[in-house]
A and B are shown apart, each in its own frame.
Chain A
Amino acid sequence: MTAARASALRIETPEGVVFSLRLASPVLRALAWAVDGLVIAAAGTVIGKTVRVFAMLGTDWASALQVFLYFAASIAYAMIFEWYWRGQTLGKRLFALRVVDAQGLRLRPAQVVLRNLLRAIDFLPAAYLVGVTACLISRKGQRLGDLAANTVVLREAALLEPDVERIAPVKYNSLAAFPHLAARLRSRVDPEAVRIAVTALAMRDGYEAPARVELFGELAGYFRALVVFPEAAVEGLTDEQYVRSSVRAIYGR
């Protein structure tokens, strides 16, 4: 029995801080590999044209140089880029993937070389069949090369600065007109419920209308049960507006 495939790698630092890194899916890895394959093919064409210069020394030597350089390029391409770009090739950079140590540390040269040498096995019998199968079976989505080198491939999170206005825009909030009740709401609310409400507000356009009505109905019911605001504050508010106003009040807006 193999363990279920995880979507994230959880790391606990010595300071007790836990963070998780998103693992890359085999599909994205295959796309990145396809791009890298094209880059290597293009490099082969460039090498072929460049070594023609050496034909003046003899076609035999030019041909030998071409065979050797293409071989070196196809083996060394991923090793050089993954080392120099800290776990990224051109294809991986394009799809925001990165190879890291399975403990979340920086990659070492030995790890880079080993995981790339073992492509020879992962590629078998064709088109990375062994590697893809290993990825699907492995809990951390590791191909055999990753397993031996103790590496994982991550999907990098886009470093977007948090947009506070998106979740708590500065608009008139009828609940905030009663600061003592807003403070009571803030002290009674379960953080997990606020997390769900914030996510629901952020993703509201993605829900089907009936599901959205039901979801915000349940959330509004939860917030209404915590603190009873005067009728003047809640009159005419839909469930969704009530949830939005509650979140704004909780965040002090």
Chain B
Amino acid sequence: MILDLPRFVTAERVYWNELQAVLDRMRLEPGRRMSIPEIERLHYLYERCSADLVRLDTFATEPQLRVYVESLVSRAYAEIHETRARAGRIRWGALIAAFPRAFRRHLAAFWLAVGLTLAGCAFGWFAIRADPDAKAVLMPFEGLMGSPAKRVAEEEGAKTDRLYGHKASFSAQLMTHNIQVTVMTLAAGVTWGVGTIILLFYNGVILGAVAADYVGAGYGQFLAGWLLPHGAIEIPAILLGGQAGLVLASALIGWGERATRAERLRAVAHDLLAIALGTAVLLVWAGIVEAFVSQYHQPVLPYSLKIAFGILELAALSIFLARVGRE
């Protein structure tokens, strides 16, 4: 049996046009709430066009007509079968609580990130203690290449503020750089976790190597005073990025899970988003502290004050992650 195409098009065109108008309006006004009669009408039009598509599939027809009706059905399908809640008004309380909740849901991944970083720290520490010349390879950054004694003498004896006139831009550069590093640590989870593991371990190696260099030279207090004010936030933020990367990797691999990869990824997507946004906020704070506090040493800022400030920040972050949003 063959469809009487002209009669079919003439009869159905009015419904196709109506559905197209409804879908165009939904696209142009995404925040608009439809009334019940409008939703019922949309559902009717979707079902009618779906039936038309089946008729076009069953009977011979022109390809362009099929593409047209198919396009309408696919657009209406996306609207009607979307059962996930629409984003409504932003509730700041829920938004803030989402970050620590997501952190707590994936604690194992966080501890794994901590373990990998500590393993890197141990490697960096022992490598520098065993061979101080390895500095050039392990931490090839200009600021870290010199002798700790010389740097401490220069910074403690400084008569002028070397960051005067570009503290704010230095702070912005630190923020953007640290956010990029953290995003990369998260995103590297898509390499089935290999990239995240390498980045976490390498960050640990640098940290361990710097610690070995300064502590070995007897400047442990300077190191703590320099790193803790911003590091108390920045280092956990990178660990959180690593946690998110490992969660992503776990969802991709899906050991022992019966859900499909798409279902596993969908299940963790909101947690990844919450951790990424929360971490970005932490790094903005760390960037401000690094430019305005960390770079000033005794006698301008006593080490004890800087260390206490860092410990306070770490305690506040720990309480926030452990307590906020608990049911």
Task: List the interface of chain A (C-beta within 8 A of B).
Answer: 11, 13-21, 58-61, 63-65, 67-68, 71, 84, 86, 100-106, 108-111, 113-114, 117-121, 144-145, 147-150, 156-157, 159-164, 166-168, 186-187, 189, 191-195, 198-199, 202, 250-253
Most buried by A among B9, B74, B82, B180: B74
Interface pair A159/B2, CB less than 8 Å apart: no
Interface pair B265/A149, CB less than 8 Å apart: yes
A163, B65: Cα distance in complex, Å: 8
A251 with B5, Cβ < 8 A, contacts A17-B53, A21-B74, A163-B64 known: yes
Contacts of A149 in B (CB 8 A): 265, 269
Partner of A104, one of B47, B72, B77: B77
Nearest B residue to A198 by beta-carbon distance? B62
Interface pair B70/A20, CB less than 8 Å apart: yes
A118 with B273, Cβ < 8 A, contacts A167-B62, A191-B58, A199-B63 known: no
A109 with B273, Cβ < 8 A, contacts A150-B266, A194-B2, A195-B61 known: yes
A119, B272: Cα distance in complex, Å: 15
Contacts of B3 in A (CB 8 A): 251
A251, B4: Cα distance in complex, Å: 5
Report B164-189 residues with CB < 8 Å from chain A CB. Answer: 165-169, 171-173, 175-176, 179-180, 183-184, 186-189
Nearest A residue to B16 by beta-carbon distance? A161
B191 within 8 A of A: yes
A70, B13: Cα distance in complex, Å: 48
Tell me the minimal C-beta distance from B272 to chain A in angstroms.
6
A162, B184: Cα distance in complex, Å: 48
Interface pair A64/B168, CB less than 8 Å apart: yes
B124 within 8 A of A: no
Interface pair B62/A162, CB less than 8 Å apart: yes
Interface pair B68/A13, CB less than 8 Å apart: no
A-B contact pairs, 17 of them (CB 8 A): A17-B54, A17-B73, A19-B53, A63-B169, A71-B175, A113-B273, A145-B190, A148-B248, A150-B266, A157-B68, A163-B64, A164-B5, A186-B1, A193-B60, A251-B5, A251-B6, A252-B4
Contacts of B187 in A (CB 8 A): 117-121, 145
A198 with B4, Cβ < 8 A, contacts A19-B73, A109-B273, A159-B71 known: no
Interface pair B176/A104, CB less than 8 Å apart: no
Nearest B residue to A203 by beta-carbon distance? B63
Interface pair B81/A162, CB less than 8 Å apart: no
Interface pair B20/A120, CB less than 8 Å apart: no
Contacts of A150 in B (CB 8 A): 262, 265-266, 269
Partner of A194, one of B7, B60, B67, B190: B60
Report B49-100 residues with CB < 8 Å from chain A CB. Answer: 50, 53-54, 57-65, 67-68, 70-74, 77-79, 81-82, 84, 87
Contacts of A192 in B (CB 8 A): 60
B256 within 8 A of A: no
Partner of A13, one of B50, B168, B172: B50
A114 with B272, Cβ < 8 A, contacts A17-B54, A160-B64, A164-B9 known: yes
Interface pair A157/B71, CB less than 8 Å apart: yes
Interface pair A86/B30, CB less than 8 Å apart: yes
Contacts of B73 in A (CB 8 A): 13, 17, 19
Tell me the minimal C-beta distance from A58 to chain B in angstroms.
8
Nearest A residue to B50 by beta-carbon distance? A17
Contacts of B252 in A (CB 8 A): 147-148
Contacts of B168 in A (CB 8 A): 58, 60-61, 63-64
A106, B27: Cα distance in complex, Å: 11
Task: Enumerate the 7 nearest inter-chain pairs by beta-carbon distance, A residue then B residue, closest first.
Answer: A194-B60, A191-B60, A64-B168, A110-B269, A162-B65, A64-B172, A67-B172
Contacts of A101 in B (CB 8 A): 78
Nearest B residue to A60 by beta-carbon distance? B168
Interface pair B77/A11, CB less than 8 Å apart: yes
